[in-house]
Amino acid sequence: MRSVIQRRRWRRSAVAATTSTLLVGAFLVAAQPAATGHAAPAAPPEIADQVPQLPEPGVTAARAEVTASGGATRVATDQHVCAPDAKWLRLRVTQLSLRGNDSVTLTGSTAGSFTLTAANWPGKAFHTRAFEGDCVRVSPNLTDPASRFAIDSYQAGTQALAMATATVAAVGDVCGSSCNQTAPLVKNMNPQALILAGDNAYNSGTLSEYNNVYNPYYGQFKSITYPTPGNHEYNTSGAAGYFDYFGTRAAASAARATTASTWATGTSSRSTRTSAAPAPPAR
């Protein structure tokens, strides 16, 4: 799939006319040359600090660059992120610092529209909802000089949005004596993500138990796992075995006493949180 950011004539069914203005004192850039031949679009950069977006099977991702910052006068220039032959697109926002009533409205060339405000910034990069069509119009309305936003990439699907699905598996009380029975079931599901609800490695969630009891069966899913510790993990001081095994996949506070994981599927966000202060008694 080729990718391009361009100005395009909008479909009359979507909008009758588009008026774009760029006034002195403002800055806006949208740069992504059209792909030529059959070269694959440039892959988006990896970002560690983001809300993970689970891509549906067959979805492609490519770079885009749409940024704007406020100036002495209002900024209201439309730009478009397009992927020829795409049925829908979702954009990755890496910065959304909006002041006052400033906003950025995203509109699909076929259907769907959403207006981003300062309240939509989760503190890290995130993907927007999916918009139907092969282009998304990005319409800033910036009046404050301190307002700015940035979009660096997109995901695109070639099947109808209603048919785009992601499979998520969720398990809890995982590896006591049934790992060899449940892991094959998860594998057969071929999920895009695996959620762990806690009590993942019996009896105390030590690193040894994770390596020798949990890992032989569930280690194959580690790259798609979104873990949460349970009370058994905290039978080991500070749930050290859990954090040492999952590393950066285990989102944690500085004290490692409260953990939180957030991810997105389709147009929805999911989150889990657990606290071990104090931990409930072991079962």
CA–CA–CA angle 146, 8, 130 (5° rounding)? 65
Is the pLDDT assigned to residue 130 strictly greater than 90? yes
Q: Return the structure tokens found at 108.
A: 């699909």
Is the pLDDT assigned to residue 40 strictly greater than 80? no
Is the pLDDT assigned to residue 276 strictly greater than 90? no
- 125 or 50, which is more confident: 125
Q: Return the structure tokens found at 238.
A: 């500070």
Is the pLDDT assigned to residue 25 strictly greater than 50? no
* Residue-wise DSSP of 134-155: SEEEEEEEB-STT-EEEEEEEE
- Tokens 């008026």 appear where? 19
The pLDDT tens digits for 176-221 are: 888 999 999 999 999 988 999 999 999 999 999 999 999 999 999 9
